[in-house]
Amino acid sequence: MSRLHVSLPGLNMKNPILPASGCFGFGKEYAKWYDLSVLGGITIKAATLEGRFGNPTPRVAETESGMLNAIGLQNPGVMKILENEIPALEPFNIPILANIAGSTEEEYIEVTRQISSSPQVSAVELNISCPNVKEGGIQFGTHYESAADLTRKVKAVSEKPVYVKLSPNVSNIVEMAQAVEEAGADGLSMINTLVGMKLDWRTGNPILANKTGGLSGPAIKPVAIRMIYEVSQKVSLPIIGMGGVSTAEDVLEMMSAGASAVAVGTANFVNPYVCPEIIEQLPKLLDEIGVENISEMTGRSTKQWKTPLSSR
């Protein structure tokens, strides 16, 4: 087995790198740039029950070392995704993590039921943290009981392991993580974007048509690292870490904080080859620090002390 191999519920990955949801479409665009079979896995764009057009444009804005997006969950709907998008990924033979969104519990449940029954889908990622649509699930993402409740119901119908994607826009990420753990989640994805905004100083108008958007990119990495560090000490679920990762060094930092696999989002826009480049770089860095298997990296920052550390 390769030294980069990692194994998470439903996701048997030849390396810990997968693109983050919404930053890689359904894969076919990047398949024109490189052979996707080098990836550890792929997270596909959020699926809702019916197709959605999303928000008006402009949908993106640049910020210092980051970007704002307010795409608004545009997608063709779960049926078309199952018909057209997922089959196209078959040749690459990599685990597929299907991101799921909705406005109501019923929508989440139905989308999960449909998508998790595809033999190609390895696991589902419950997006209860999209800040960009009025009914994008953010109500579940900041309210612990609703999140736990939804997790329980989705788990009941899912044929595949369920990862819950946490919003960083909460007072206490640990309590949120514990709530969904207790509700039966198989893993956590964290973090989604921070809610942010940018105005044109000349006019005072927001750049985004949606006004606010989700902040991603290197700017938010310190928040992601902190939250993964805190949560990994208090729950025993595996964590797919994300938030500002753009280099192999970032991947090892995030795994040290407690992540078992790492998703790369915004960095794909900066460099479409970023995922394969990171994957190529990882063994060199492991050599540099004398670590044989990358899975040993997970949680190094806390393992070094005998008792778990709380950070404040």
Residue 164: CB minimum distance to a second copy, A: 16
Establish if 151 lies at the interface with ligand FMN (CB under 6 A).
no
Binding residues for ligand FMN restricted to 31-50, rule: CB under 6 A: 45-46
Nearer to ligand FMN, 276 or 291 (CB): 276
Q: Out of 102, 187, 196, 244, name the contact with ligand FMN by CB under 6 A.
A: 244
Stretch that binds ligand FMN, among 28-36, 200-208, 263-271, 288-296 (CB under 6 A): 263-271
User: By CB under 6 A, which span of 1-9, 29-37, 82-90, 237-245 interacts with ligand FMN?
Assistant: 237-245
Decide: is 212 part of the binding site for a second copy (CB under 8 A): yes
| Partner interacting with residue 24 (select from ligand FMN, other proteins, a second copy, none; CB below 5-8 Å by kind) | other proteins
Give whole-number Cα distances, 248 to 165, 255, 256, in Å. 23, 11, 12
What are residue 43's DSSP bridge partners?
A: 97
3-state SS, the chain, equals CCCCCEEECCEEECCCEEECCCCCCCCHHHHCCCCHHHCCCEEEEEECCCCECCCCCCCEEEECCEEEECCCCCECCHHHHHHHHHHHCHHHCCCEEEEECCCCHHHHHHHHHHHHCCCCEEEEEEECCECCCCCCEHHHHCCHHHHHHHHHHHHHHCCCCEEEECCCCCCCHHHHHHHHHHCCCCEEEECCCEEEECECCCCCCECCCCCEEEEECHHHHHHHHHHHHHHHHHCCCCEEECCCCCCHHHHHHHHHHCCCEEEECCHHHHCCCHHHHHHHHHHHHHHHHCCCCHHHHCCHHHHCCCCCCCCC
Determine whether the annotation assigns residue 204 to a binding site.
no
| 55 appears as a binding residue in the annotation | no
CB 26, min distance to other proteins, A? 9
13 binds ligand FMN (CB under 6 A): no
Q: Which is nearer to ligand FMN, 13 or 242 (CB)?
A: 242
Tell whether 93 is in a known binding site.
no
Q: Is position 275 annotated as part of the catalytic site?
A: no
Check 130, 228, 237, 239 and give the catalytic one.
Answer: 130
Sites of contact with other proteins (CB under 8 A): 22-25, 29-30, 32-33, 45, 51, 53-54, 57-62, 64-67, 69, 71, 74, 76, 207, 217-218, 266, 268-273
Given candidates 12, 103, 142, 146, which one binds a second copy under the rule CB under 8 A? 142
Contact call for residue 204 and a second copy (CB under 8 A): yes
For position 218 contacting a second copy by CB under 8 A, the verdict is yes
Residues marked as catalytic? 130
